[in-house]
């Protein structure tokens, strides 16, 4: 089941959040779409113990944000091979919406029910 997706136009990456109900695992899959065709080779895969509800690429950088049903926002350097997030933040509610500021210095997370939280993205 696809639960979230994001497209990084500048660097041409596609990211999809998937929920695997048989294993109760959330997964974020990242493909490089550089050659103007459908993505074929999986670039990265990140596993979670919660459903992925939101994904967002940072403007003009290689960071990827993920928001989960468990209320965790993680920052990933999607060009690196590490399975450990660069930074993790806890919101206290399911993160249905995440967004970087246009300059990439701030990020905001929201739950779609009136809760929002703002963080420095460093």
Q: What is the pTM of this model?
A: 0.78
Query: What's the average model confidence in pLDDT over 62-76?
Result: 84
pLDDT, tens digit (0-9, with 9 covering 90-100), for 1-12: 999 988 887 767
Q: Please report the sign of the dihedral spanned by the C-alpha atoms of residue 79, residue 52, residue 6, residue 116.
A: negative
Residue with more model confidence, 67 or 80: 67
Residue 88: φ, ψ to 5°: -135, 140
Q: How confident is the model at residue 40 (pLDDT cuts 50, 70, 90)?
A: low
């Amino acid at each position: 089941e696809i639960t979230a997706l994001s497209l990084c136009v500048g660097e041409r990456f596609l990211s999809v959040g998937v929920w695997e109900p048989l294993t109760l695992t959330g997964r974020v899959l990242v493909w490089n779409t550089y050659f103007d065709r459908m993505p074929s080779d999986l670039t990265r895969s990140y596993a979670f113990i919660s459903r992925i509800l939101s994904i967002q690429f940072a403007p003009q950088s290689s960071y990827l944000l993920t928001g989960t049903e468990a209320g965790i926002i993680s920052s990933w350097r999607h060009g690196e091979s590490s399975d450990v997030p660069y930074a993790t933040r806890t919101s206290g509610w399911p993160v249905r919406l995440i967004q970087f500021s246009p300059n990439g210095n701030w990020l905001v997370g929201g739950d779609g029910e009136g809760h929002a939280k703002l963080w420095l993205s460093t």
